[in-house]
Amino acid sequence: MAERNNMKEQILRTSGVNPLKCMRCGKCSATCPAYDEMEYHPHQFVYMVETGDIEPLLNSESFYKCLTCFACVDRCPRSVEPAKLVEAARLMVIREQGKNRLKPDDIPAQLDEDMPQQLLVSALRKYSK
């Protein structure tokens, strides 16, 4: 139970989303272009995080199917921002798997001319605590 609460807290903190704002209209799932690819759908993500039922979510492929197109964020009438929950869940999994493999010291060796700076920034955001 403590573990469950921990995961919920971490997702809420990373995403800044308050799932209690959801009024369960389903507009996020109505608008999602990847709906058919998913086992759990955007409105279910929100509800599962709200109830702390996060384990099945993490064990499912569903949240890797999210294209981060932000249609749900744009159209949600309650400003819940479901895509941010999805992103937070992805980050949590990556971090739990210990894939903090990007260390600042290693960066110079990895640099090449064609690499956009933005990639480094997002890589650090994803892989480093």
Partner 1 sequence: MQRIGVFVCWCGTNIAGTVDVVKVAQTLANEPGVVFSADYQYMCSQAGQDMIKEAVKKHKLTGLVICSCSPRMHEATFRKTAAAAGLNPYMVEIANIREQCSWVHKEMPIGTEKAIILGKAAVAKVNLNAPLTPGESPVTKRALVIGGGIAGIQTALDIADAGFPVDIVEKLPTIGGKMAQLDKTFPTLDCAACILTPKMVDAGQHEKIRIFSYSEVTDIGGFVGNFHVTIKKKARYVREDLCTGCGLCTEKCPQKKVPNEFNLGMDTRRAIYIPFAQAVPKIAAIDEDYCTMLKTGKCGVCAKVCTAGAIDYKQQDEYITVDYGAIVAATGYNPISMDKFDEFAYSQSKDVITSLEFERLTNAAGPTAGKLLRPSDGKHPHTIVFVQCVGSRCSGADKGKEYCSKICCMYTAKHAMLTRDKYPDTDVYVFYIDVRTPGKNFDEFYRRAVEEYGVHYIKGMVGKVTPDGDKLVVQASDLLAGKQMKIDADLVVLAAAIEPDKSARPLATLLTASMDTNDFFTEAHPKLRPVESPTAGVFLSGTCQGPKDIPETVSQAGAAASKVIGLLAKDKLMGNPCVAHSDEMMCNGCSSCEKVCPYGAITYADKEYRMPDRTTKVRRVAVVNEAVCQGCGCCTVACPSGAMDLKGFASAQIMAEVDAICK
The torsion angles phi and psi of 28, rounded to 5 degrees, stand at -65, -45
**Does residue number 65 form part of the binding site for partner 1 (CB under 8 A)?**
no
Nearer to partner 1, 23 or 124 (CB): 23
Task: Tell which residue, 21, 2, 15, 35, has the closest CA to residue 90.
Answer: 15
Nearer to partner 1, 29 or 92 (CB): 29
Which position among 15, 29, 45, 89 is part of the footprint of partner 1 (CB under 8 A)? Answer: 29
**Does residue number 35 form part of the binding site for partner 1 (CB under 8 A)?**
yes
Which position among 1, 2, 79, 105 is part of the footprint of partner 1 (CB under 8 A)? Answer: 79
Task: Tell which residue, 7, 112, 110, has the closest CA to residue 124.
Answer: 110
Tell me if 19 sits within 8 A of 59, measured CB to CB.
Answer: no
Q: For residues 52 and 86, what is the distance between their CA atoms, to the nearest angstrom?
A: 14
**Site residues, partner 1 (CB under 8 A):** 21, 23-32, 35-36, 41, 43, 71, 74-79
